[in-house]
Structures are given as structure tokens and as C-alpha cells.
Amino acid sequence: MATYLEFIQQNEERDGVRFSWNVWPSSRLEATRMVVPLACLLTPLKERLDLPPVQYEPVLCSRPTCKAVLSPLCQVDYRAKLWACNFCFQRNQFPPAYAGISEVNQPAELMPQFSTIEYIVQRGPQTPLIFLYVVDTCLEEEDLQALKESLQMSLSLLPADALVGLITFGRMVQVHELSCEGISKSYVFRGTKDLTAKQIQDMLGLSRPAVPIQQGRPLQTPEQPVISSRFLQPVHKIDMNLTDLLGELQRDPWPVTQGKRPLRSTGVALSIAVGLLEGTFPNTGARIMLFTGGPPTQGPGMVVGDELKTPIRSWHDIEKDNARFMKKATKHYETLANRTAANGHCIDIYACALDQTGLLEMKCCANLTGGHMVMGDSFNTSLFKQTFQRVFNKGFNGEFRMAFGASLDVKTSRELKIAGAIGPCISLNAKGPCVSENELGIGGTSQWKICSLDPSTTLAIYFEVVNQHNAPIPQGGRGAVQFVTQYQHSSTQKRIRVTTIARNWADAQSQLQHIEAAFDQEAAAVLMARLGVYRAESEEGPDVLRWLDRQLIRLGRTLRNESSYYRHHFARQDLTQSLIMIQPILYAYSFHGPPEPVLLDSSSILPDRILLMDTFFQIVIYLGETIAQWQKAGYQDMPEYENFKHLLQAPLDDAQEILQTRFPMPRYIHTEHGGSQARFLLSKVNPSQTHNNLYAWGQESGAPILTDDVSLQVFMDHLKKLAVSSAS
């Protein structure tokens, strides 16, 4: 029999699911004693090259409250052409199309290897994907130029039939009409006035079928559905126009006097973008892509005033409840995010500025809608340019790595209930018998909406074992969970992916070793961390943080902006990436042997090593003191020291490999001992040597870190204590 490690790996590869426990404690009491809840990480659209979708509708359980999908776990009576639902035990007739099935002629969904299966279904008209660019023009000339070029370039990456729109903003907000020849037209809105969706649609002339201003309008043939508005046009039709329009974009012309910030109407711009899509294309895949170079400074959603002398809110202000605009702004963006999510659209935020841009207030826009959040110093950096390009990356099968408007429906065996989910989703408020009253994450529902997702989007789903201690499950009993994800594929097809898994129940008292052996500590770490971050987000209390990995606390220590950013990504990346975020990876390159992973500890920083650290957001290459000196002396250029040249090159190559696949593109830092950028490394390593204990450890090995954070050692001790106390 395969080891649990192999089992876990196989399951992950096949189903995109990793459970914290792979043998489940069979009663509520036992389960609660396990500290780590029964939960799983689900990657609904995990890329499966070996999984050709089937071109028919799934067969559903006929019980209206169940509607589970026929799966390999179902009992089938081939003679009677009946099947029993494994969740509600309803006996169902097969549909007529299944008349020919038999033990040897099974449809795919009954075969055990198709525990995950994808259906292509015909539902309603297919609408093209929509990309609405919302562009800040209060940028430095160089930044704007770079952004314009990136946007122009992106037009060639979009699917040809995709609809594209452009909104620009500064002091005012302009919605550009893309369908016109000659005079270029735009609708202009004040940046200070919050408008309702209805007002926006009226003002854009979207609320009437007859459009007042349009030149040489050909008569619409009735059979051709109106699938575009003046503001959203097929990219193949207007890419020349739009390229010119982008090229002619100027910086916001309104003068900014000294001591002032430019007036940036991000709040109204987003509101108009949301309203525009809401009015024209509800419930179809659409990305609002916000590119901003600074904080919103006026109107609804403003984060800071335009006076430079009043700085943007700091951690301190927020703690003291001194952040004047924060609550109102957050509320504004939350309302927008919820509307966007309700429409099935998503909002990406690309924020590039040296200063803060108000991501804290805006984070929900991306978080609730499954949009991307990308932060950088400038649009004129490869970090932004490549990350942005990567949004339009295609998978192995040549399809965009993006999907829209997904709904995830989770069904469980009776012994289980659903406590909640954490990820880029909102609740669909589907109450049902399998919904637990105890919420973990976004709970109270068995269905969630994920407006935008890609093959790596991963949700954490938490369960509660509800089986009572006095009603033991018979030996060999299995619990099952079914995940049904309906979504709009990037090819605009409607698809349904169904994953049905089962795990053994075990009695924790008699079979604890089985349960322990089937514990997936990586999954557990990520699941717990997500829970911690979720609580930190929603409760903001230091109490919650205290029991968490200190590394995560660091997430909160940085600027507010950044912490929102980190949390955003943490809540959606798959397990491996999440682990990197929790515990950065450190590789050492030296003449002493092949590259090897080393402890993320200050003792690993040695003069004759090159270190490569991957923190997910940053890739740091650090040359030890001696190596740096050698490099300065130019040994790498001497033919007799070619091996040194190779040593220098090795981490660069490895870094490049990471850079090429990671989204968002990490910050790439190349530094050396004593370099100012070395702080990126020093701030991450475990402070086994600090200025507090420096003399106790001796001086030749490792580098001391100036910090008051406790060392991992101390933390581990604490964790052990905790584990012992819970096990007893």
C-alpha cells in the first residue's frame, strides 16, 4: 500500500484537494479535540491535462434538496437502471440517454478514476469575455508612458472577440466611447460625486434602447442580439482606435499646486466601471482592471486629502481610530465589491507607487471578486510589466488561465457539516441540512461564488464532524464530500467540474495512530494560517495573532498597504505557494557541495555562501561577504576561476525559473553582505542570534539580527507545549 504521502500527492494531483486529516475522527467530540479542524484546500480548476471534458449534462439526484451529481461513489443497479445517491440515499432513475449502460459500458462519471470530471454544458447565449481598463492619469509622465505601452500591448493578448472598454480618471472620470470615427467621444463625470447605478446608466445613455448620439448607425437586425455597447467593443474591431486613444492619453491636465496631491477620483471611477458593467453585461465574465498610481484623494472612497502635509493614515492612526476617511472609504469599496460580485464580475487592482495607494481600503474589491491585486513601485518596472502580461498567460492547452463567475457547491455525507470557506469568494447564502451553525471563515452556506479564478485559485473549506459519540460509525465506513464548480471557461463555454472524494472514518480512541498517520501537516499549516489571517482581518485583535506563527504576524507588521496585499495573496494561492509565504525557502550555494536548502535562520548566513531566498513576494539573492569580495575582485572573469563564475550564475538561473511562473511577479533583489537591500533577507530569517544573545553564541558563524521577535526555537517550544496539552 502506498504511503500516506503518496496518497496525499495522488489525491492532490487528481482532485486538487488536500485534507488536513485523511482519516477522519468519527465523532464530534474527538474531532474537536484534534485542535486542527477537519478541513481541506480545494483548487477547483486545477489544471488537468489528462482530463478531457465530457460534452453532456451531469446527472443529478432527483431530491430537490440534494441534487448531488452522479459519481463513482454511487451504488448503481445496472439492470433496473437505477442509482442511489451516496449523500441522501435517494434512488434515482437514469435518464433515457443512459439506457445502454452496463457493468462493462459505464459512463465516465461512474469510473473510479473520474472522481474529478468536467462537463461542458449548453446554457444560454455565450457572451465574450470583457475587459474594462480603469486607468489613473495622475501619474508621472514616465509611469504613464510605460502603463500606456503595457495596455496597448495587452490588446494583442486579449481574445479577438473579447469586449474591451476604457475609463480614465484623475480629477474627473472619463468613460471613453470606442465605436466612433472622427471625433473621439467620452462621457465625463465629476470625481467628487457618488452616483447610483441607475444614475450612471442614465447618464451613459444605457437605460434606453434608443441611443441618442451615434453617427451613421446601421439598423440593428433583430435576430442579432445586442452584445456590445458604445463603451465596450470587440477588440478586433477597435484595437487600432483604442491603441491611438491610449497613445493620446495625457496626464491629468488640472494643475496640482505645490504641497498638494493630485486629485484622484478612484472611488468614482470604480463606481462607474461597476455601474457600466452592471447595466450592460450582468452575470457574464468581466474584469475591471484598475491601474492606479496613488491614493484616492477626493470623492467617495477617498483615503487621504490632497494636502501633502497631512500624511496618509498609518498603523498607528488606525489603531487609535484616527484614520479619518478609512471607515467611509472601506464602506464605499465594500459596497462596490459586493455589487461587482453579485454581477459576477471581478476587479483587479494594479497599484504602482512608492507611497501607499490605499489598498487597505480597496482590498475587498479584489478579495471578494477574485480579482488580482498587484503592487509595485512603478508601472515602469519589469515587475509590473511582466506580472500584467502574465494575467493573460495561456495554459498548456492554449487557453487563458482565467475563468469567471464560478459557483462552488459543496455536498457532504450526513456525518459532516460545512463550517465555511476562506478564499476569494462570497457566500451565496445557500442554507441547507449540511450547513453547520459553527462558522469558520465565510460560513452559513454550502455555496460560494468565485467571480474570477484561475487554475491555482485555492479555497480552504472547513468542516465539522457532527456524528455523535454514542452513534459509532461501522468499521470501514466512509465519509464523502462532493464539490460542484460551475463556471464560465475562458473560451466562454459554461462548464461544470465535479469532484467527489471519500475518506475513512476512524475511532480516535482506538485508532488514533491511523488518524495521526494520515495527518497532512502542510495542509494543516496552511489551513490554520488562513484561519488566522481571516480572523486577523475580521477581528483585528492581537489576541488572535498571538497563537499564530510569528512569521504571519510579520505580515501585519509591515505597512498597511502591504499587509492587505500579502493577505490577499495568502488567501488564494495553492498550498505550495502558501507554504512559501509562511516559511520562505532559503537555498545555499557554495563550493562545499551542490545547492542545498538551509534553515531560514541567521546562522545560515555565512561569508562563503550565496543565498537564494524565496518569500513568494520577493526573490533575494545574497552574496556572502567573501563571495562579494571575490566578485569585486573580478575572479569570475578569469578563465581559471570559471567555477566561481558558475557558482555566481547558478542562483540567478534558479531565480529566473521562479520569476517566470510566479504570479504576481515577485520583487527581485540582488544584494550582498552589507548591502542596503540585505534587509530583505535579514528581516525574514529566524533570529537565532540577536543583539540580545549575540555574545552567548560566539561570533564566527551566522549574522546577528537586530530584532525583538522571538526566535523560531522559542516558538517551537511553545507549540510543543500546546500540542502536548491538547493531546492529553
Partner 1 sequence: PLTSPLKLHYPHPQNSNHKLLSTIQVIEDDRSNRGSEPFVTGVRGQVPPLVTTNFLVKDQGNASPRYIRCTSYNIPCTSDMAKQSQVPLAAVIKPLATLPPEETLPYLVDHGESGPVRCNRCKAYMCPFMQFIEGGRRFQCCFCSCVTEVPPHYFQHLDHTGKRVDFYDRPELSLGSYEFLATVDYCKNNKFPSPPAFIFMIDVSYNAVKSGLVRLICEELKSLLDYLPREGNMEESAIRVGFVTYNKVLHFYNVKSSLAQPQMMVVSDVADMFVPLLDGFLVNVNESRTVIASLLDQIPEMFADTRETETVFAPVIQAGLEALKAAECSGKLFIFHTSLPIAEAPGKLKNRDDKKLINTDKEKTLFQPQTSFYNNLAKDCVAQGCCVDLFLFPNQYLDVATLGVVTYQTGGSIYKYAYFQVRTDQDRFLNDLRRDVQKEVGFDAVMRVRTSTGIRATDFFGAFYMSNTTDVEMAGLDCDKTITVEFKHDDKLSEDSGALLQCALLYTSCAGQRRLRIHNLSLNCCTQLADLYRNCETDTLINYLAKYAYRGVLNSPVKTVRDALINQCAQILACYRKNCASPSSAGQLILPECMKLLPVYLNCVLKSDVLQPGPEVTTDDRAYIRQLVTSMDVAETNVFFYPRLLPLVTDVDSDSLPAAIRNSEERLSKGDIYLLENGLNIFVWVGVNVQQGLIQNLFGVSSFSQISSDLSTLPVLENPFSKKVRSIVDMLQVQRSRYMKLIIVKQEDKLEMLFKHFLVEDKSLSGGASYVDFLCHMHKEIRQLLS
Binding site for partner 1 (CB under 8 A): 172, 174, 182-190, 193, 195, 199, 202-205, 210, 212-217, 253-255
Q: Quick one: cell of 16? A: 486538487
Contact of 645 with 638, CB cutoff 8 Å: no
C-beta of 247 vs 542, nearer to partner 1: 247
In the complex, least distance from residue 171 CB atom to partner 1, rounded to whole angstroms:
9
Of 276 and 461, which has the nearer Cβ to partner 1?
Answer: 276
Minimum distance, C-beta of residue 166 to partner 1, in the bound complex (Å): 14
Output the 3-class SS for 444-478.
CCCEEEEEEECCCCCEEEEEEECCCCCCCCCCCCE
What letter represents residue 550's amino acid?
R
CB of 250 to partner 1, least distance (A): 9
CB 188, min distance to partner 1, A: 3
* Shortest distance in whole angstroms from residue 245 CB to partner 1: 10
How far is the CA of 687 from the CAs of 542, 584, 613, 626, in angstroms? 22, 14, 16, 22
**Cell numbers placing 363:** 482590498
Beta strands at 345-352 and 373-376: parallel, antiparallel or unpaired: parallel
Measured CA to CA, the distance from residue 578 to residue 586 in angstroms comes to 15
Q: What is the smallest separation between the CB atom of 292 and partner 1, expressed in angstroms?
A: 20
Tell me whether residue 271 or residue 500 sits nearer to partner 1 (CB atom).
271
Nearer to partner 1 (CB atom), residue 238 or residue 524: 238
Which of 260/667 has CB closer to partner 1? Answer: 260
| Min CB(184)–partner 1 separation in Å | 5
Nearer residue to partner 1 within complex by CB, 247 or 541 = 247
CB nearer to partner 1: pick between 214 and 427: 214
Instruction: For 365-392, give one letter per residue: b (16+ CB within 10 A) or e.
Output: bbbbbbbbbbbbebbbbebbbbbbebbb
Quick one: which of 440, 436, 409, 408 has its CA closest to 424? 408
* Torsion, CA 187, CA 192, CA 196, CA 198, rounded to 10: -20
Q: How far is the CB of 357 from partner 1 (least distance, A)?
A: 25
Rounded Cα gap, residues 399 and 287, in angstroms: 17
550-557 helix and 560-570 helix, angle to the nearest 10 degrees: 130
Closest separation in Å from C-beta 227 to partner 1: 22
Between 233 and 615, whose beta carbon lies closer to partner 1? 233
CA 346 to chain centroid: 12
Question: Shortest CA distance to 421 belongs to which of 447, 403, 452?
Answer: 447
Return the number of the residue (99 or 183) whose C-beta is nearest partner 1: 183
Could you tell me the smallest distance in angstroms from the CB atom of residue 265 to partner 1? 12
Instruction: Please measure the distance between the N-terminal and C-terminal CA atoms of the chain and give it in whole angstroms.
Output: 31
Please state the φ and ψ torsions of residue 479, each to the nearest 5 degrees: -100, 150
Identity (one letter) of the amino acid at 14?
R
For partner 1, which is the closer residue by CB, 103 or 181? 181
Distances in Å between the Cα of 694 and the Cα atoms of 698, 713, 715 are: 7, 15, 19
**In 1-48, which ranges are E strands?**
17-19, 23-25, 39-42
Q: In what order do the strands lie in the sheet with 91-93?
A: 75-77, 82-84, 91-93
Min CB(235)–partner 1 separation in Å:
22
Contact 404, 451 (CB under 8 A): yes
Residue 183 grid cell: 471625433
Q: Which residues of 300-333 are buried (b: 16+ CB within 10 A; e: fewer)?
A: bbbbbbbeeeeebbeeeeeeeeebebbeebbebb
Residue with smaller CB distance to partner 1, 182 or 222: 182
Half-sphere exposure of 485 (CA within 13 A, CB side): 31
Question: CB of 180: closest distance to partner 1 in angstroms?
Answer: 8
Q: Check if the beta carbon of residue 450 is closer than 8 Å to that of residue 438.
A: no
Which residue, 161 or 202, is less far from partner 1 as judged by CB? Answer: 202
Pick between residue 302 and residue 515 the one whose CB is nearest to partner 1: 302
- In the complex, what is the shortest distance from the CB of residue 271 to partner 1, in angstroms, rounded to a whole number? 13
- Which residue's CB is nearer to partner 1, number 249 or number 341? 249
Minimum distance from CB of 255 to partner 1 (Å)? 8
Helix (H) or strand (E) holding 408: strand 403-412
Can you tell me whether residue 301 is helix, strand or coil? coil
For residues 641 and 588, give the distance between their C-alpha atoms in angstroms, rounded to a whole number.
Answer: 20
C-alpha cell at 365: 474589491
**Distance from C-alpha of 529 to C-alpha of 548, rounded to nearest angstrom:** 7
- Residue 226 DSSP SS3: coil
CA-to-CA distance for 301 and 295, rounded, in angstroms?
10
